[in-house]
Structure 1
Amino acid sequence: MGVIWETSPWAFLFVTVFAGGGAAFMIGRAAARGWNPFWQAVLQVMLLSAAVRFLHWGLFAGATLESWRQSQGSLLSLHYYLVDAVVLLVFAAIGFSRQRTVQMLRQYGWLAVETSPLTWRPLRDAKSPPQSRRD
């Protein structure tokens, strides 16, 4: 048992980072695609964190009905829930930021310039959208 992982680092990498992180990335991306605020993605990631905790408990923590009855299982461990939630929130934030950057550059290219894969900044001399000529 470690501070970050409950049973083994491989279980943490497989369930939390790869499976949960991929799902959290897609949650952040979906929130940005719908022009929704990031707090909506945070709520969804909290639910995903509970599902990831259940997978850890069910697959790797020796979960049995008897351990659930005796409250010896780690399913309801607040510590490991928060660890999973923080990791998943990082993935959701990356997905949200990347998608929002792509949106801003695609839809408002005359107003913004990409500064990194996750950020953009407004152009200083942008006054109005480009005018289309109708002849």
Structure 2
Amino acid sequence: MQGVIYEETSIFTFALVTIILGGGAAWLTGRALAITWRRYWQLLAYMLLLAAAVRFLHFALFEGTLLALRFYLVDLAFLVVFGTLGYMQTRASQMTTQYPWLYERASPLHWRSRKDAA
């Protein structure tokens, strides 16, 4: 997978920068957007910027390639997944706590209309 998904000599550096640091920031960004009732498309715009920051960290800390489209898109894909999970988990929690008479939890990431809500 080295050279395809990540360019570093070790998967540890990819996991540290992209998954732990970038994924954590993406999760918190998704959560913040959901808490403030923002639209999902705004998350995608923020992830474009965050992926550039993650690519810069690879460049600055581990001598990675700064302007590599393939690795930028890989970082972006991971960040969008983590950001979406944070957004959906928070939005499902919001909908079921703000409107308990209308919605109930269907899963950790989704909600559904209550059967007795008419």
Q: Could you state the TM-score of these two structures normalised by the residue count of structure 2?
A: 0.94
Structure 2 match to 1:65: none
Q: Which structure shows the bigger proportion of residues in helix conformation?
A: 2
Instruction: Tell me, in whole angstroms, the C-alpha distance in 1 between the residues paired with 2:5 and 2:98.
Output: 40
Structure 1 match to 2:72: 81
Larger Rg: 1
Instruction: Tell me, in whole angstroms, the C-alpha distance in 1 between the residues paired with 2:33 and 2:43.
Output: 6
What amino acid is the match of 1:89?
Answer: V
For structure 1, the 5+ residue unaligned runs are 63-73, 128-135
Structure 2 match to 1:21: 23
Structure 2 match to 1:119: 110
Structure 2 match to 1:37: 39
What amino acid is the match of 1:49?
Answer: A
Instruction: Tell me, in whole angstroms, the C-alpha distance in 2 between the residues paired with 1:24 and 1:108.
Output: 27
For structure 2, the 5+ residue unaligned runs are none
Structure 2 match to 1:107: 98
| Equivalences, count | 116
Question: 3-state SS of the aligned residue for 1:120?
Answer: strand
Q: Could you state the TM-score of these two structures normalised by the residue count of structure 1?
A: 0.82
* Superposition RMSD in Å: 1.1
What amino acid is the match of 2:102?
Answer: L
Give how far 1:124 is off: 3.0
Give how far 1:33 is off: 0.6
Instruction: Tell me, in whole angstroms, the C-alpha distance in 2 between the residues paired with 1:13 and 1:92.
Output: 16
Q: Post-superposition, which runs of at least 4 consecutive aligned residues in structure 1 deviate over 4 A?
A: none
Instruction: Tell me, in whole angstroms, the C-alpha distance in 2 between the residues paired with 1:60 and 1:54.
Output: 10
